[in-house]
A and B are shown apart, each in its own frame.
Chain A
Amino acid sequence: MSDSTETTTPQDIRHGTTRAPAWAWQGPGEPEALEQTEVDIGAPGDDEVLVATRASASIPSTGSSWRWTASCGKPVRFPGSMPRVR
């Protein structure tokens, strides 16, 4: 496999931390306009789980992740302007 199987630290689990760094979308614009912030994820509901993220991704197609992100929030996105998943 191409990456590690590193596990969550005991400290993570002990504290059940729900505040976390995240990238927030600030509206259509340049990708650099994404802002790093800290969000309160909150405790899991009865049918939910809280996850320590190890890796994340957006939609698959080359270059389309930005186009898709940039289009979100525009009224034209639904219907007829679909995210690409090739």
Chain B
Amino acid sequence: MDSELWQAGQIPGVDASGEVIACGANVTHVSPGDRIAVHTTLAGPGTFSKRLRVPARAVMRLPVTLGFNDAAAFPCPALTAWLAIEKLPVKAGRRLLITGASGSVGRWLIQLARQRDFHVIAVASEKRHADLKALGADETLTDAEQLDAPVYAVIDTINGDHARKMTRHLGANGHIVCIQDRLEQAAAPAFDRAISQHEVALGALHWAGDDEDWARLVAAGEGLLEAIADGTLNQPAPCIESFTALPAYLAELKRGERRALKFVITANE
């Protein structure tokens, strides 16, 4: 996949918010002046730029009361979580284990799973438990080994090796959803527990999504943005830095001097 390898001059960044200032001839659903958020492909120019040229089908219109910084923090974690939860057949009351639950994607997963009436079991460090229960977790664990019974599904946000270890907690006809990596081999032998394996990548739509795929994602995204604006769903406030501070901020992240679930570079300066 050489086309995905960056060359010098590549603009990083995958999420953005902003205002439409011009539209192509075929664009009818947004107009100049509309406030939008968008997730961009890793293979093209990124969002650390004060102008973006993006596919119209990928833009999500913002509620009037939602600020640009909150909107820019939204696409990658929230849409990844939405794609992950959509992999699962909804069965109210079934036990769903979410690992890495205190991260940006994990927090969205908890809330989306509660909306679908799953019994949500969140795995995170103990200091996060009260926060995760406030988001909707029915149970909180510090380690999946504390489970006392099999679960219907696991959404693993850690990595492929961790996801593989989590499959031992699945019951018959269970589901494993990998946010990071994927399982390269079957999670169980044939004619065993019949586990379904799922992979999640926002990039899949950029590489292979059709108009219907994008319409579903954008409709879901706009609904979630409305839910943030009206307070129905919660998104942590991002850490905000100036456009000119990006390299210094990345250096601080690299040295572990800053912590934030999500950072946003504002272009207003």
Q: List A residues at the B interface (Cβ < 8 Å).
A: 1-8, 12-13, 16-27, 30-34, 36-37, 39, 41-63, 65-67, 69, 72-75, 77-78, 80, 82-86
Q: Which of B35, B237, B254 contacts A5 (CB 8 A)?
A: B35
A-B contact count (CB 8 A): 306
B26: nearest residue on chain A (CB-CB)?
Answer: A46
Q: Is the CB of A5 within 8 A of B251?
A: no
Task: List 8 additional contacts besides A6-B268, A60-B103; criterion CB under 8 Å.
Answer: A2-B69, A25-B12, A32-B251, A49-B20, A54-B268, A60-B261, A72-B6, A72-B12
Give the one of A13, A32, A66, A86 with max B CB within 10 A. A86
A48 → chain B closest CB, angstroms: 5
Complex CA gap A33/B6 in Å reads 15
- CB closest chain-B residue, reference A86: B103
The residue in chain A whose Cβ has the minimal distance to the Cβ of B158 is A86
Q: How near does chain B come to A59, taking the closest CB pair, in angstroms? A: 6
B-to-A contact residues, CB < 8 Å: 1, 4-27, 30, 32-33, 35-36, 38, 42, 45-57, 59, 64-73, 76-77, 80, 100, 103-106, 157-159, 179-181, 229, 237-238, 240, 243-244, 246-248, 250-251, 253-254, 256, 258-268
A44 to B38, CA, bound (A): 15
A8, A43, A48: most-surrounded residue (chain B CB, <10 A):
A48
Alpha-carbon separation in the docked complex, A47 to B58 (Å): 10
Interface pairs (24), CB distance under 8 Å:
A2-B238, A13-B32, A16-B21, A22-B50, A23-B11, A23-B13, A24-B11, A34-B12, A34-B246, A47-B57, A52-B19, A55-B17, A56-B13, A56-B17, A56-B49, A57-B76, A60-B73, A62-B258, A63-B258, A66-B251, A72-B5, A72-B42, A77-B5, A86-B104
Residue from B27, B47, B158 within 8 A of A48 (CB atoms) = B27
Q: Report the Cα distance A33→B9, complex, angstroms.
A: 11
> Quick one: given A5-B64, A55-B71, A63-B256, are A36 and B42 in contact (CB under 8 Å)?
no
- Closest-CB distance, B23 to chain A (whole angstroms): 5
Expressed in whole angstroms, the Cα–Cα distance for A30 and B252 within the complex equals 11
Complexed CA–CA distance, A23 and B49 (Å): 6
A50 CA / B34 CA spacing, docked (Å)? 11
Known A-B contacts A47-B55, A53-B50; A32 and B67 likewise in contact (beta carbons under 8 Å): no
- Report whether A48 and B50 are in contact in the complex, using a CB–CB cutoff of 8 Å: no
A35 to B45, CA, bound (A): 15
B253 touches A54 (CB 8 A): no
What's the Cα separation between A44 and B16 when bound, in Å?
17
